[in-house]
């Protein structure tokens, strides 16, 4: 199980604007400190495992932060509408479009996804697989 994911950022304030545009809507809480941003999900009663945290930090070696080629972080939304709304909010908060929300032929019929790049260039996916919503081709 993934315990946490960390991405580097050279400009923490700019990264905070971007991630604040959609992570709170997905129930992430943020703590800001001198070491950067820590986003956590609330623990649910009876939850047997820890949910993965998401960190945005300056690099440990002091060099410039770079985006991983082929790396992507995906956040699950509750609905197709939420994917569209959060994708738009993230773009307005300084993100870059990497693929408008919609269905992709190479994924399952209910996999609805929008892709972004954060201000540092990290690739982010916002997706929903809600079987109660219309799927591709329905």
Q: Name the burial class of residue 39, with classes exposed (0-12), middle (13-18) and buried (19+) by CB atoms within 10 angstroms of its CB.
A: buried
CA gap 25, 61 in Å, rounded: 32
Number of domains in the chain: 1
pLDDT tens digits, 81-132: 999 999 999 999 999 999 999 999 889 999 999 999 999 999 999 999 999 9
The CATH number assigned to the domain holding 10 equals 3.10.180.10
In a domain, 55, yes or no: yes
Domain assignment present for residue 134? The answer is no
What does pTM read for this prediction? 0.89
Q: What is the per-residue pLDDT for 47?
A: 78
The range of the structural domain enclosing residue 79 comes to 4-128
Res. 49 pLDDT band, cuts 50 70 90:
confident
Distances (CA, A) of 39 to 17, 19, 59: 13, 9, 17
Strands (E) across 4-111 are located at: 4-8, 29-33, 36-40, 53-57, 72-76, 96-103
Q: For residue 103, is it within any domain?
A: yes
Inform me whether the pLDDT recorded for 3 exceeds 90: no
Task: With respect to residue 138, please indicate whether it lies within any of the assigned structural domains.
Answer: no
In a domain, 93, yes or no: yes
């Amino acid at each position: 199980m993934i315990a946490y994911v960390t991405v580097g950022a050279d400009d923490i304030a700019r990264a905070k604007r971007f991630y604040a545009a959609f992570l709170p809507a997905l129930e992430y809480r943020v703590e800001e400190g001198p070491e950067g941003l820590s986003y956590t999900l609330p623990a649910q009663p009876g939850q047997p495992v820890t949910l993965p945290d998401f960190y945005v930090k300056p690099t440990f070696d002091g060099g410039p932060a770079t985006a991983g080629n082929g790396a992507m972080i995906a956040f699950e939304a509750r609905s197709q509408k939420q994917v569209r709304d959060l994708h738009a909010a993230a773009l307005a908060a300084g993100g870059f479009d990497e693929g408008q929300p919609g269905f992709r032929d190479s994924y399952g019929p209910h996999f609805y996804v929008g892709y972004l790049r954060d201000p540092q260039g990290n690739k982010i996916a916002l997706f929903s697989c809600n079987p109660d919503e219309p799927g591709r081709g329905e």
